[in-house]
Amino acid sequence: MTGEPRKVVVVGASAGAVQALLTILPALPARFALPVLVVVHIPPDRDNMLVPLLQSKCRITVKEAEDKEPIEDGVVYFAPSDYHMLVETNQSLALSTDEAVNFSRPSIDVLFESAADAFGAEVVGVILTGANHDGAAGLRKIHAAGGMAIVQDRAEAYATAMPDAALRACPAARTMTIDAITTYLTSLGAA
């Protein structure tokens, strides 16, 4: 174990992800004090264009995760397409080519469950818009480990299946609009 336990934000999104992330991430200040780990479902064989797009719009650093990379505060890490992204207890990232989970690689459940294992109550899990149920089991695990579970308000979600599934699996999760999520994360990461 290195250093003090610290908070980490994990985010999962699928259909409609780009618009949602383009609202949340550019609003985070340059000196945002937490790491943000993101899984977005993107078809394999497609280069991840989302990272360059967000890099150009965000004040905090946005990058694609590398295997065994130490997790740094104030950096947004995206899972590369066709790889799962996991969190190790020594606060580094690990990639895997294990088979798809919920037909997805990367899978939100894989990230969320490993984050709950490694960071326990210090995890803030956010499920955004999406048209499948990936992330529901992971969000439940984050909540069970004492972490904070947040689900995007279905009323404004581009696709509601993912927020609905997350709420069914984790009824104690807080429902928030994108604006409320942005405000919450900003205050959480105020350096």
Partner 1 sequence: MSDTTEDIEIELLLEALFQRYHYDFRNYARASIKRRLAQALTQLGFTTLSALQDRVLHDPKMLPRLLDFLTVQVSEMFRDPSYFKALREKVLPHLSTYPSLRVWIAGCSTGEEVYSLAILFKEEGLYDRTIFYATDINPDALAAAEAGVYAVDRVRKFTENHQRSGGKSSLSDHYTAAYGRAVFDSSLRNRVVFSDHSLVTDAVFAEMHLISCRNVMIYFDRPLQDRAIGLFRESLARKGFLGLGSKESLRFSTHAPAFADFVPEDKIYQRREP
Burial class (CB in 10 A: 0-12, 13-18, 19+), 112: buried
Hey, which residues between 2 and 31 contact partner 1 (CB under 8 A)? 5
Other beta carbons within 10 angstroms of residue 105's beta carbon come to: 22
Q: Counting contacts by CB under 8 A, is residue 120 touching partner 1?
A: yes
Q: Counting contacts by CB under 8 A, is residue 114 touching partner 1?
A: yes
Q: Which stretch binds partner 1 (CB under 8 A): 97-105, 126-134, 157-165, 180-188?
A: 97-105
User: x/- binding map, residues 32-71, to partner 1, per CB under 8 A?
Assistant: ---------------------------------xxxx---
Residue whose structure tokens are 């943000």: 36
Total of chain residues touching partner 1, rule CB under 8 A: 24
Sheet containing 8-13, strands listed edge to edge, beginning at the edge strand earlier in sequence:
61-64, 75-78, 36-40, 8-13, 123-127, 148-152, 174-176
Residue ranges that bind partner 1, judged by CB under 8 A: 1, 5, 65-68, 80, 83, 86-89, 94-99, 110, 113-114, 117-118, 120
